[in-house]
Chain A
Amino acid sequence: MPLLWTFFAILHLFSILFGLAALYRLYTYIKRYRFNESKYTLLFGFVHLHWIAAAYFITILLWVVFSYLLITYTG
């Protein structure tokens, strides 16, 4: 079981680092492409890229917590 928790920690550490790298690449793109967004260009007419980026990072952190609870209380 300690080995499982080690792998669990490595998995989520990699997950968070990957998320941060993806967000960094995304923001270098945003700095170079400064379009004036409108309801015709946004996802479903209203979803901004910043919202998706924030949701991505929050989801990664929430998944760390939920997966820990999953393994602890159901495993």
Chain B
Amino acid sequence: MNTESIHAPDMATGPTEVDNTNRFFRGQMKTEELLSFTRKHWVTIAPYLGGFMLFWVLYFLYLVTFPKNVVISFIGTEGYATALFFAVTAFTYCLHRCFIHIFNYYLRTMIVTNYRVVTVDKTIFLHDSRDAIDVPEIQDIRMKQEGLLPTVFNYGELIILLSSTGEPKRVRYIPNPDYHFRKINKTKREYIIGRQVAKQATQERSIGGLDDVKTQISRESIGLMPKE
């Protein structure tokens, strides 16, 4: 005679599942966790920062030292005013270009999640492209830090070899490349281990199901009702 086993009530159902959809970036999936993100090293905008400083130095130098009367004697007052207007136009252009480049620095990011590595290459007006590399597609990753400036200022290149295509994906001017190299390696290892655990759990469940079928067949063969 079968007796139903009395199951103790579930004390806990586990932590509440968090929905990460578009939580930190557009395109983030429900179970996708943001592990790290980085921008390019500041050395990429150093020329524009220097240009901005030079802009103001030239402005004040002009106010203090420019031989205005000598120039007017050559090109006249109206010619001088026109030249000044062109100089103002050139400076206005440089001002906007400098700041737009600094904004573009903030827009270009590399995002590492538990599923993929996303590189966002975006500018304010002209350019918007994204490249996502799934973690299982990563065959190998290399870090390259060569030269005086990369070593002193601690930036380098990450070279990601993919299992699907022959051409590696290069991400240049990454600050602290050693950290991101280790991060992506760790993400890949955890993904592989997670997949192995999930596969093992699936196999155990299917074996458990097979045992139930075997039990049912053996019970029917001796005339017993199937076990529910």
Using a CB–CB cutoff of 8 Å, the interface residues on chain A facing chain B are: 1, 4, 7-8, 11-12, 15, 18-19, 22, 25-26, 29, 32-36, 40-41, 43-44, 49, 52-53, 55-56, 59-60, 63, 66-67, 70-71, 74-75
Contact B81 A1 (CB under 8 A): yes
Contact B24 A33 (CB under 8 A): yes
Q: Which residues of A contact B25 (CB under 8 A)?
A: 32-35
**Residues of chain B within 8 A of A52, CB atoms compared:** 99, 102-103, 106
B96 within 8 A of A: yes
Contact yes or no, A11 B88, CB < 8 A: yes
A67 and B88 alpha carbons, distance in the complex (Å): 7
Count A/B pairs, Cβ under 8 Å.
96
12 contacts between A and B (CB under 8 A): A11-B92, A15-B96, A19-B96, A22-B125, A35-B25, A36-B24, A41-B37, A43-B106, A49-B106, A53-B103, A70-B63, A71-B85
Please report which residues of chain B, range 70-113, place their CB below 8 angstroms from some CB of chain A when the two chains form the complex. Answer: 78, 80-82, 84-85, 88-89, 91-92, 95-96, 99-100, 102-103, 105-107, 109
Shortest distance between the CB of A55 and any CB in chain B (Å)? 8
Q: Which residue in B88, B175, B176 is a CB contact (below 8 Å) of A70?
A: B88
Known: A34-B24, A52-B102, A67-B92. A29 touches B107 (CB 8 A): yes
